[in-house]
Amino acid sequence: MTAEHLIESVSVNKIFGGWHKQYSHQSKVLNCPMQFAIYLPPQAANGKKVPVLYWLSGLTCSDENFMQKAGAMRVAAELGIAIVAPDTSPRGDDVADDEGYDLGKGAGFYVNATQAPWNKHYQMYDYVVNELPALIEATFPVSDKRAISGHSMGGHGALVIGMRNPERYSSMSAFSPICHPVTAPWGKKAFTAYLGKDKATWQEYDASELMRKATTHLPVKVDQGGADDFLVEQLQPEALEAAAKASGYPLILDIHEGYDHSYYFISSFIEDHLRFHAEHLSK
């Protein structure tokens, strides 16, 4: 059975000469049905394989938030870059959940859970790194040239995945990432539930800890709003900056005065990120 027979079409929309498509598929890694969205630029229509930017969204989001709000497809069409946006967690009636918005469905944190009941489904790290790209590359006219980006919880995921797998990505970027989750309330809650009480295992999913120890460097761009309500307590970009200085990591970190945590911020600077990735994907 070929890969295209393993996915089911949910919606199709033409935009900027390309196609935005939503699909569902049965994930073996997550043990449940999953939905993802893909934007195929017009260049993909002539048989040419195009590179892919994987976008990881934040808490409470799905595959739809970025595709509908970021305004990324005009520039992606110009640059000839496909965009893939997975969901942020497993879904389904038998998938473990929590009453809080920052744990459970919509809050997978892009880790491989080791603790029950979460470990049955919450293997988002393996899904994003391995299963989803394999499916995308077997099904669509895309190459194995990949970049990764994300917002908030997804920014955390993009930085962690990029640094742990530098051979798989040309570049990584983030908007308002949770930079030091081992000390942030969001991270402490999620990591305790998903990974247990051994904080040594938490560091494997902490961008600041990984950047401090890194010996292989990927091009990285981070943008943060200066008026973000979560800046001080949850996001802590100063920890990432300190880690970069300690290891010599070539971090580009820009703080933008007046901007908040919303998609108004993302849509203001997404073009810069796409052009940053295009430069490195073309090398």
The fraction of the chain above a pLDDT of 90, given in percent, is 96
Q: List pLDDT tens digits, range 9-20.
A: 999 999 999 999
Element (H, E) at 201: helix 199-202
List the domains of the chain with CATH numbers.
3-282 (3.40.50.1820)
At 39, is the secondary structure helix, strand, or coil? strand
Q: List pLDDT tens digits, range 2-41.
A: 565 589 999 999 999 999 999 999 999 999 999 999 999 9
Average pLDDT score over residue span 243-255: 98
Residue 77 has pLDDT above 90, yes or no: yes
The pLDDT value recorded for residue 171 is: 98
Tokens encoding 8: 């089911």
Q: Report yes or no: 147 and 153 within 8 Å, Cβ to Cβ.
A: no
Residue among 261, 277, 274, 178 nearest 220 (CA):
277
| Residue 62: pLDDT band with limits 50, 70, 90 | very high
Which one from 151, 180, 261, 280 is the annotated catalytic residue? Answer: 261
Q: Are strands 32-40 and 7-15 parallel, antiparallel or unpaired?
A: unpaired
Average pLDDT score over residue span 57-82: 98
DSSP conformational letter for 69:
H
Which one from 62, 152, 176, 208 is the annotated catalytic residue? Answer: 152
The pLDDT value recorded for residue 4 is: 55
156 is catalytic: no
11: β partners: 22
54: β partners: 84, 148
| Residue 46: pLDDT band with limits 50, 70, 90 | confident
Q: List pLDDT tens digits, range 140-191.
A: 999 999 999 999 999 999 999 999 999 999 999 999 999 999 999 999 999 9
25 is catalytic: no
C-alpha span between 170 and 162 (Å, rounded) = 9
At 75, is the secondary structure helix, strand, or coil? helix
The pLDDT value recorded for residue 1 is: 42
Which one from 62, 228, 277, 280 is the annotated catalytic residue? Answer: 228
152 is catalytic: yes
| Residue 47: pLDDT band with limits 50, 70, 90 | confident
Residue among 109, 87, 77, 115 nearest 10 (CA):
87
